[in-house]
Chains A and B, each alone.
Chain A
Amino acid sequence: MTNISLEPIDIVRGQPYPGAPDNWKRFFTFSTDHKVIGIQYIVTSFFFFLVGGLFAMIMRGELITPEADLIDRTVYNALFTMHGSVMLFFWTFPVLVGLGNYLVPLMIGARDMAFPRLNAVSFWMIPVAGVLMMTSFLVPGGPSQSGWWAYPPVSLQNPTGNLINGQVLWILAVAISGVSSIMGAVNFVTTIFRMRTPGMTWFKTPAFVWAVLGAQLIQLYGLPALTGGAIMLLLDLTIGTSFFAPERGGNPILYQHFFWFYSHPAVYVMVLPAFGIFSEVLPVHARKPLFGYRVIAASSILITIISGTVWVHHMYASATPPWMRMFFMVTTMLVAVPSGIKVFGWVATVWGGKIRFTTPMLFALGGISNWLFAGITGIFLGSVPIDLHVHNTYFVVGHFHYVLYGAIVMGIYAAIYHWFPKMTGRMYYEGLGKLHFVLTYVGTALIFLPMHPLGLMGMPRRVASYDPEFAYWNVVASIGGFLLGLSTLPFILNMVSAWIRGEKVGNNPWRAYGLEWLTSSPPSVENYEQLPLVISGPYGYGKNQPLVSNIPNPGLTEFPESLPKSLMQETTS
């Protein structure tokens, strides 16, 4: 039985044609293979993650003392603008698109994305846009200094008077990444709606796919609004229209509506896939089905819908009338319900499980604990009176970094470790992975937790200098920041060395339940020798049911020969 399905795949792997899975050169080509594109996305965006992190560490260096003494104020302002822009547009969005790209077709049993060439074009726009944004460091006047919000009128003030300035380059780079995202979203939505393998009904589709679908739907309805606002901003900046320029009769607040109509849901574009990752990783490493799978899956779509109605909570202080403040307070708080359902579901999943603290599991658990904290401070921020005190302070910075770093980046790390054996056929080094986790978790708490008291004390965000009363917590935060910078080193070392000479493991080292684990590692170009016919829902741990009818399922409860040594060392007594 087993030989039937494995034999032909091995033949495919043996052929050294350019697209073969073990030819590294394919990562530098205009490949249309979703797995190659996925890895291209992940590696490229990780490079930008390091760049954005470097900016953050320079900023933390400046903030270690109250005075503005390390770098000029303009440099600081440019750095926080670039930090935010790079981290969002060139790290978090693309890396999650990359993970989705790699995993979604495998998880739904498709051979590729619906539009492979469009997929490749979407990817290649990311490095182009990223480099374009970086070149703004070289133009006179430097990069944009208006924050990643690019609020007018500050973003319309052009000190050099040049047509080519940092702000224009910023808008163009964001626009290119936006076009890339829209094309990616069309691709994902079509793939998920129309390319699921026979038998995979909606409620047999993995939670990660649901989450990606929810996220990409947000891109489709939200991103065009930001594009509209960006076009108007660009026209104001270049040809002198007066949409947002108050001195010419424009309304700068309107830009904020355009911006946040997308950019708040954008947080869910990033956090939903992270939720999906948690939902995939926990059952595997706790050997238990995802608790309340249907509700968790559907709550992703609920979040997609509600998140489109909350944007004004970023604008409570922006001259919004009281009725708006109240309406959006209620909608904002409602988002806590589907998010809460997920957290409770995850806790119930690990409850009574057979947990192994592998690196992906640690990152997923750490991410969930951080998300719980961030979700609670999020409810604080939804309340109008509390928000009026803290909304432009470090409390908000702490809150959203807990979401973005604490939950999302941890989720991304969890995903990379969890699917690393699938992507490469080799196992990462568990010891380095755990070191990475400890550094990341401690670093996150050290840098982002002190930001909450700072905000409550009234330290505004985006300041290059501050009153001496804030010095203590800022020093702590800076130490945490440098620790986070350090934490990427074991990760890079782990990934590079494991990819080159890590232990070879079989197709399913985690004994996981899921379509992606039924194919070879790394998967062949066509993913499956034959398309799987799905007959049962995902996460069938403990049920001893086959997942598909036409491919033999490796014994999930047997002791596989391919079990990695590292897993065996994982013990509890």
Chain B
Amino acid sequence: MTAERAISQAIEAQIRQQQEHDEAGNSKFGFIVFLLSESVIFLSFFAGYIAYKTTVADWYPPGVTGLETKEPLINTIVLISSSFVIYVAERYLHDQKLWGFRIFLLATMAMGSYFLFGQAVEWSSLPFSYTSGTFGGTFFLLTGFHGLHVLSGILLQAFMLGRSFVPGNYENGFFGVEATSLFWHFVDVIWIILYGLIYVWQ
């Protein structure tokens, strides 16, 4: 009896250890599931954009012939590059080099902020508004909703940066940073599709 009990307790302990070790894995799995689900919102907006663009007779509001592509392209390059920068930051953290992590994370935040600033400049100089037909509506909806995600990404990064100053915070794994980084890549991929739909396909 006691032997049986000892065996079952040993198994139990093993399972427990395995599950506790796996908690970060659970979080990562859950976060990826969430991002996949989140991407469907963007997909539905993209689908809406395509449906409007192919069916509405007067797509551009009067006086508008198309969108300026040069500055958004610079913006795009900055945002996409930041994906690589945050990857470097993550590698530094992986190697327990906190200062490298902080510097590159800060660089990512700066690039993200530059993107948002560029967006704001573009918005303020546009000759149409969100009430200018379905074109104006979808343009501001897509860029605005994406911009909100960029902003949340930067806030998350700021939070992760702050936590790096808590002693020993990232010694037992850094799921938060991985999630932030994943989120940032996600935001970038969405932007590439968005850029293709709005700026390239005119």
Contact = CB atoms under 8 A, between A and B. Distances in A.
Q: Report A-B touching, CB under 8 Å.
A: yes
A243 B33 contact: no
B36 A220 contact: yes
Given A195-B19, A242-B134, A229 B44 contact: yes
Contacts of A187: 30
Interface string A239-258: 11111000011110010011
A186 B39 CA distance: 14
B9 A530 contact: yes
Given A4-B5, A531-B12, A533-B11, A242 B137 contact: yes
A115 B179 CA distance: 15
A64 interface: no
B141 interface: yes
Contacts of B48: 228, 232, 243, 254, 258
Contacts of A251: 51-52, 55-56, 134
A250 B5 contact: no
A197 B140 CA distance: 48
Chain A interface SS verdict (over half): helix
A186 B12 CA distance: 27
B131 A242 contact: yes
B138 interface: yes
A17 interface: no
Nearest to A258: B44
A25 interface: no
A243 B48 CA distance: 9
A221 interface: yes
Nearest to A550: B8
A195 B43 CA distance: 30
A114 B19 CA distance: 10
Interface in A391-417: none
A261 B44 CA distance: 10
A249 B133 contact: yes
A185 interface: yes
A225 B42 CA distance: 8
Contacts of B155: none
Contacts of A530: 8-9, 11-12
Interface in B1-51: 1, 4-5, 8-9, 11-12, 15-16, 19, 22, 25-27, 29-30, 33-34, 36-41, 43-45, 48, 51
B133 A185 contact: no
A385 interface: no
B180 to A, nearest CB: 17
Nearest to B56: A249
B41 A228 contact: yes
B25 A531 contact: no
A553 B79 CA distance: 59
